[in-house]
Structure 1
Amino acid sequence: MEPVEALARIAFLLERQGAVTYRVQAFRTAAAVIGALPADEVTRRARNGSLGRLKGLGPKTTRVIEEALAGTPPGYLTHLEEEAGGPLVDGDQGQRLRRALRGDCHLHSDWSDGGSPVEEMARAARDLGHAWCALTDHSPRLTVARGLTAERLRRQLSLVAEVNERLAPFRLLTGIECDILDDGALDQEPELLERLDVVVASVHSKLRMEKAPMTRRLLAAVRNPLVDVLGHCTGRQITGKPRPESRFDAAEVFAACAEHHTAVEINCRPDRFDPPRRLLRQALAAGTLFAIDSDAHAPGQLDWQIYGCARAEECGVPPERIINTWTERQVATWTRTGRTPHGRPRTAP
């Protein structure tokens, strides 16, 4: 295994494991440093012991590089493969559905609060077997996550076009995770949202709002023809600093999602697993579409989709109601016209 490949694999496994960013970044930085050098210089430095003097390399990353150059599987990588490289779920849970997925509708890059460049996220999705994925960095109100202003989002659209030229036939869809404001309005210019391939709308503020106004807030969003996916609908956190579910009339909100063909997200992050199973089953009974989304903020987290697949299979969600099983063209048709592969149009508000 080449040194850059070994360093990148370690970073991926750490991300998959949910490691803190600084641990991951050490290996991604080292991979970038080594990847920019001629191979003979890397070999020469390894032989004379000067690798560790390079800015961006530390003792652990230097050891990985030296072991890879020597033809020996790096010890730290071997340890991580044993600890974090195995299946994330038991047995065959979710595997059938995971094989049916063609894409991911919710991921972040270093343009907002993600840890990796846009193209790196796209390449990782492609290498995991996806035909497409949607880049959905945050909208401007979420300043803590470096949400994109309209100007920055327009610049990102140009970057996505460049990435698509390099990665074709894989396709990176333009998108956003747009904040649902207190009154249900969307946190971005409507004309700009209209240009995007996928709009995920999520609540990130005033999560403890009373049930009635929260219901009105969500209804306004899911009925908006610019919204394609309702993201992590309860806003709960189940690990770290736990946060309870937001209260809303689920029957009313899911009925509106079904009527307007707005997909309900099955968020795969282990700290969210949102919605809970009881609400997932309620949305299923209401007739909604679903999006199984990693909500990845780093390449290794893209692998978390299997968690959502396992939960969807457990609750009996049929593949044809999961938009990730559709082709990029079918997704584009649905977001532009509201027509699903089964010919059902989205209802206008």
Structure 2
Amino acid sequence: MADPRDPVADLKQIAFLLERALEPSYRVKAFRRAAGTIAALPAAELAQRTAAGTLTELAGVGDVTARCVTESSAGEEPVYLRRLLATEDTPLDESTAAIRAALRGDCHAHSDWSDGGSPIEEMARTARGLGHEYLVLTDHSPRLTVAHGLTAERLEQQLDVVAELNATFAAEAAAGAAEPFRILTGIEVDINEDGTLDQKPSLLGRLDLVVASVHSKLRMPAREMTPRMVAAISNPHTDVLGHCTGRLVTGGRGKRPESEFDAELVFAACAQFGVAVEINSRPERLDPPKRLLRLAVEAGCLFSIDTDAHAPGQLDWQRNGCERAARCGVDVSQVVNSWAIADLLAWTAGRSVPAR
């Protein structure tokens, strides 16, 4: 008999690959739920139930997940996992792969503190497993109630949780159990209709990085949207302009047209104030469109290639943004999350761009 595999790890990997492929959330949750149930099971009971074929008697374990656990426990790669792995990747071309390899972190990700689906620790450990040195936690601000946006009080509580997790990651790295990794504190703050930011300035000043995005009145006329965006860009707390057009090109929420604004003026403001333009990698966003991304390149903007992940498997979507960056001539030295963490933090603290 082959040596047993880790059935919990196999179930989690299946969930990760399903998330990355934008499979229905109920399917992803089924594998994550089964992983949680199996992880809590004593080894002896797992072996007994696997041999007796009674895994499906457990809450959260169905026929498909039970079959995966049985195959994994027997030392076999689950058939379900093998099929996903066989169809998961389209090879990256050389220029796209070079940008992806240069990225050290992700500056836009959500947890279950707002509208994400997983705990902070799970998001962070997945990011570390992908080779990241850091992940910026950017849950929503209070105005976005539909996404359970963080009040000032909840955000302060989150900062304490992040500090505790970072202490754990530092200890693991010191013991040689893992590569160095750090969660950076942040927020995806709403840009209000008057261009102000939806959080206390004193609290924004405590964060490592601030992504500012428009989430309301997306059909505002360009004559109103442009000054709204420029006001937010000129705010000293803004580091990254998130998904600038707000468009949706596909997905469960349907399609949504681009917001209208004077792109030349907005990108000129980003260049002037040292604010990075986000290259959002979500398949339903792919924002900004390539014509605007080329315009931002011509304006001399900085960029941040982010996933806007709301689940662990989505953290591997950066390849989408890297492909668009490569096609539009983005210089990787202008991509802020290709910088070492010290350079990134020096930039957010005082707009100091590292020498290249």
Output the TM-score relative to the length of structure 1: 0.95
| Residue pairs, 1:46-195, within 5 angstroms | 46-83=50-87, 85-87=88-90, 90-168=92-170, 169-195=180-206
Quick one: distance in 2 between partners of 1:93 and 1:204?
33
Following the alignment from structure 2 to structure 1, what is the Cα–Cα distance between the partners of residues 69 and 95?
Answer: 36
**Pick aligned residue for 1:332 from 345, 350, 355:** 345
**Equivalent residue, structure 2, for 1:24:** 28
Q: In 1, distance between residues paired with 2:100 and 2:299?
A: 23
Q: Write the distance in 1 (CA, Å) between the matches of 2:228 and 2:41.
A: 53
Q: Return the letter of the residue paired with 1:194.
A: G
Specify the alignment match of 2:173 in structure 1.
none
| Residue-by-residue CA offset, 1:43-76 (whole Å, 9 max, x unaligned) | 1111122211111211211111111112222111
Match of 1:203 in 2: 214
C-alpha separation in 2, matches of 1:18 and 1:212: 36
Q: How many angstroms does 1:79 deviate by?
A: 1.7
Q: CA deviation at 1:93?
A: 4.9
Matching residue of 1:234: 245
| Whole-Å separation in 2 of the counterparts to 1:29 and 1:112 | 20
1:35 aligns with 2:39: yes
1:38 offset after TM fit, Å? 2.0
Query: 2:252 aligned with 1:249, yes or no?
Result: no
1:90 deviates by 4.7
Query: Aligned letter for 2:128?
Result: R
Asked whether the 8 Å contact 1:266–1:274 carries over to 2, the reply is yes
- Matched AA of 2:239: D
Instruction: Find out whether 1:265 has 2:278 as its counterpart.
Output: yes
User: What's the RMSD between the two structures over aligned residues?
Assistant: 1.2
Kindly state the Cα deviation for residue 92 of structure 1 after the two structures are TM-superposed.
Answer: 3.1
Deviates more, 1:239-248 or 1:74-83: 74-83
Tell me the CA shift for residue 33 of structure 1.
1.4
Structure 1 stretches of at least 4 aligned residues deviating more than 4 Å after TM superposition: none
1:184–1:216: 8 Å Cα contact kept in structure 2? yes
Using the aligned pairs only, state the percent identity.
Answer: 59
Give the whole-Å Cα distance in 2 for the aligned partners of 1:142 and 1:19: 26
Structure 2 distance, partners of 1:121, 1:196, is 19
Once the two structures are superposed, residues 97-150 of structure 1 have per-residue CA deviations (whole angstroms, 9 ceiling, x without a partner) of: 110110100001111111111011001111111111100011111111111111
Pick one of 276, 279, 282 that aligns with 2:289.
276
Question: Quick one: distance in 2 between partners of 1:124 and 1:334?
Answer: 26
Q: Secondary structure at the match of 1:174?
A: strand
Matched length: 341
| Residue 342 of structure 1: how far off its partner (Å) | 3.0
Deviates more, 1:271-280 or 1:22-31: 22-31
Number of the residue aligned with 2:299: 286
Gaps of 5+ in 1: 344-349
The C-alpha deviation readout for 1:249-288, integer Å capped at 9, x for no partner, is 0111111100100000000011011001111111111111
Which residue, 17, 20, 27 being the options, matches 1:13?
17
